[in-house]
Amino acid sequence: MKWISLFLSMLLVMTVVPPDAHAAKRTISQDGFTFDIVRDDAAFTEIVTKYEGDEYRGILDRSTGNITIEVTGKDKERHSYEVQVENADGSSFSAVLKDKKDKREYRLGKDKKKVRAQFVIALPIAIGLIDALVMALLAASATIVIAGVTYYVASKVIENVKRSSYDYFMAVIRNNDVYIGPAIDYSTAFTRVYGNGDIWCRTQILCQTIAYNVSYTYNTIIVNKIPNISDKERKTEIEKRAGVIGPEIHGNGSSGYYFHYHPKNFIYRPHCFYA
């Protein structure tokens, strides 16, 4: 009976110990501040820190790209702010902090002088900390913002893209990785690739097709400039030149690399990614 009692005691201990009790706390540091990562999933990323008794919390909603900053003072009074990030790609950072209550603004980052309405926030808020909080939140969520457009690192959103009702998405290569942006229609995707921009496609055949169409359109223009050839010769020459390069993948199995196509015989070398 002694071993049964021992087993029941162990079972009781296992029952009352929280499942995450032994999990290492995830943190991220930025500009001398350290933030706890309290949530990071397909829906939200949330980080928090305390400074001089006040709690600073940053929340990124992946479905909308919205960033909210919540500051709770020593008196438990909470203030909420919206953040509109203009650029944050690892080399530059600029954003506007908006007070949700009175709509006043404060510019974060390098261009603070351009703010439309400087203000003193009700709490003794540390502006340098807010800069760090927003940058840390973006880093924790593997998010970048270019010209106001939000992109997520591909590895975190690929499955959502595959299940999406959209076929094409903006994409960029940054920090040795691929980032996926907003959904776009075929016309916008075609124009983006034709202008040397990268895209992400929901399927391989969509990638191959749009890369071929860009190549075909470009080479049609080039061949049409050739004088003194018949329509049959013109058609044959276009079909000979048009095509795709790929599928190909680089990196020797390293993370951050994905299969893609390039338009063949094209002036640029844009990427049409898929997974």
245-268 pLDDT, tens digit each? 999 999 988 999 999 999 999 999
At residue 120, the pLDDT reads: 47
Q: Residue 231, Cα to own-chain centre: how many angstroms? A: 47
Q: Contact at 8 Å (CB) between 242 and 264?
A: yes
Residues of the chain with pLDDT under 50: 1-23, 113-124
**Residue extents of the structural domains in the chain:** 23-146, 151-273
Strand partners, 98: 82, 105
Residue 206: its pLDDT value, please?
A: 98
- Burial status of residue 190 (CB atoms within 10 A of its CB: 0-12, 13-18, 19 or more): middle
Written as six digits, the tokens of 72 are 């709770």
| pLDDT at position 67 | 95
pLDDT score of 40:
92
Per-residue pLDDT tens digits for 133-146:
999 999 999 999 99
Report the 10 Å Cβ neighbour count for 185.
11
Amino acid 213: pLDDT: 98
Q: Report the Cα 109 to chain-centroid distance in Å.
A: 19
